[in-house]
Amino acid sequence: MITVHHLEHSRSQRVLWLLEELGVPYEVKLYARDPVTRFAPPELKAVHPTGKSPVIEDNGRVVAETGAIVEYLVETYGRGALIPPPGTDERLRYRYWLHFAEGSAMPMLVMTLLFNRLVTAMPPEQAAIVTGLQQSYVDPQRNAHLDLWEAVLSGSTWFAGDAFTAADVMLSFPIEAARSRGGLGERPHLVDWLARIQARPAYRAALEKGGPYAYA
């Protein structure tokens, strides 16, 4: 059985959701964040050298990085589910969004989190500099991503086309996090997409098994 090394309030929630969508049995080993630093506990380094979650163990294999885990699970257990057929435009869109989630979306969200923490910890003069950087660079980049997502969903039901895929699973965390840190603004297609993914039985089942999740 697959073991998911799962950190509370984290991106690894997507792995649980994907496994529920695929109908693959798994067990969860839950880790709590450090209450002060909010980092993962040192025990995770015994599973993988990065000491981060998610990590899965499956038949002697240890797989880390959410995108790599998603690709591995879809290829190994999907039997053609949650991925468009090869050679199609939808497959190209799927691959793009699968990697966009961590490669482009998450860096802006992490920078937003760090800048917000810096502003609260700095003297006003220094905080003003950080706020200026955030407003001139980070916020416009994040809003550009939100506008792009809204435009895509105005023309298709899901990110890769008319069918729900693992690309939607991957994008769930950055979009949920964006909503929690600044809202989605006047972007009705994104709001509707979030409502639809959160209503899926597999999504709800994963929440029940995964423990605390700040962005649900």
- pLDDT given for residue 185 in this prediction: 84
Q: Write out the two tokens for 166.
A: 């693992």
**What's the number of CA atoms in the CB half-sphere (13 Å) around residue 57?**
12
Amino acid (1-letter code) at residue 56: I
What distance in Å separates the CA atoms of residue 119 and residue 107, rounded to the nearest whole number? 18
Helices 139-153, 188-198: axis angle to 10 degrees equals 70
CATH 3.30.70.2740 fits 2-82+203-210, yes or no: no
Other CB atoms within 10 A of residue 194 CB = 16
- pLDDT given for residue 216 in this prediction: 45
What distance in Å separates the CA atoms of residue 68 and residue 89, rounded to the nearest whole number? 21
- pLDDT given for residue 215 in this prediction: 60
Is residue 213 within 8 Å of residue 176, measured between CB atoms? no
- pLDDT given for residue 136 in this prediction: 80
Range list for CATH 1.20.1050.10 in the chain:
89-200
The pTM is what? 0.92
Mean pLDDT in consecutive groups of 10 residues from the start of the chain, 216 residues:
95 97 98 88 93 96 97 98 98 98 91 78 79 81 94 98 98 92 87 97 96 73
What distance in Å separates the CA atoms of residue 216 and residue 214, rounded to the nearest whole number? 6
- pLDDT given for residue 117 in this prediction: 77
Q: Write out the two tokens for 40.
A: 């993962």
Is residue 138 within 8 Å of residue 115, measured between CB atoms? yes
CATH architecture type of domain 89-200: Up-down Bundle (1.20)
Q: Write out the two tokens for 10.
A: 């984290």
Range list for CATH 3.40.30.10 in the chain:
2-82+203-210
Q: pLDDT tens digits, residue range 112-154?
A: 877 777 778 778 878 787 778 778 888 898 899 999 999 999 9
CB neighbour list of residue 62: distance below 8 Å, 6 or more residues apart: 47, 48, 55, 56
